[in-house]
Amino acid sequence: MNIVVMGGRGLVGRNIVERLRRQGHAVSAASRASGVDLITGRGLAESLVGADVVVDVTNSPTFDDMASFEFFRTAIINLLAAEKRAGVKLHVSLSVVGTGRLDASPYLRGKSLQERLIAASGIPFTIVHATQFFEFLLDIVNYAVRGQTINLSPAFIEPVASDDVAATIARVAVDAPLNGSLEIAGPERARMSELIQRFVLDIEAPYEVRTKADATYFGAVLDESVLLPHADAERGTLGFEAWRDLSEYARADW
């Protein structure tokens, strides 16, 4: 099977590419570094010649402003048009648990639009909704930190290892399309502020974490369950402590 992974040099993309190649598939890792730009369209048509499946794990370079919405809108319009011309048989997309529930966030509003356009495209598709990656905890810290203080919501989260998400995406990329979505989450539940407190203490970062009910999460105020998956979500295998002990991300240089 000929598979193109958009964002194939990123954290999840590299993992997916490696898994699918080990299975014997012909896999291309497309990114701006390889000359493919979803925003300008540069190199896009050429990258999809002969493609059976497209896996899209690209991400916005910003999280809390309208630039993130515009990234997802422009990227998916260009990508779906190119897929139709190339005769792609399956589109697989990585999205976020909570998409469709948090329109106050430009980032998640962009993901929601992306999903609607995929569903309306006529291309068979599968969307994978993932909870926050453990590797994303540093981004949460960097987004929320002000001076030496991190103000965070007490909303519940069930974070997942990116490796578990990559395994799920690699599997559905060679399965029949769902023409719908599935969810994957980690095996443990915690409040965001409390988990980040543990993380900050573990890596000895010089920050104070404060719980604030009105703290925004990439532009949106959260109720306590809005980021949780449904009860039938798939579950990753790595919990926080197991991930921390294995991960280079837990050894940040502060």
Ordered by start, the domain boundaries in the chain are 2-251
Question: What does the block give as tokens for 1?
Answer: 């099977």
Distance CA 50, CA 145 (A): 46
Q: Which residues, 6+ apart, have CB-to-CB distance to 206 below 8 Å?
A: 148, 254
pLDDT of residue 254: 44
Distance CA 144, CA 147 (A): 10
Q: Which residues, 6+ apart, have CB-to-CB distance to 158 below 8 Å?
A: 131, 185, 186, 187, 188, 189, 190, 228, 229
Question: What does the block give as tokens for 39?
Answer: 């925003």
Element at 57 (helix H, strand E): none
Consecutive 10-residue averages of pLDDT for the chain (254 residues): 96 97 97 96 97 97 87 98 98 96 92 97 98 91 90 97 97 98 97 94 88 91 95 95 79 50
CATH number of 2-251: 3.40.50.720
Does the pTM exceed 0.95?
no
SS3 17: helix
Question: What does the block give as tokens for 221?
Answer: 């105020």
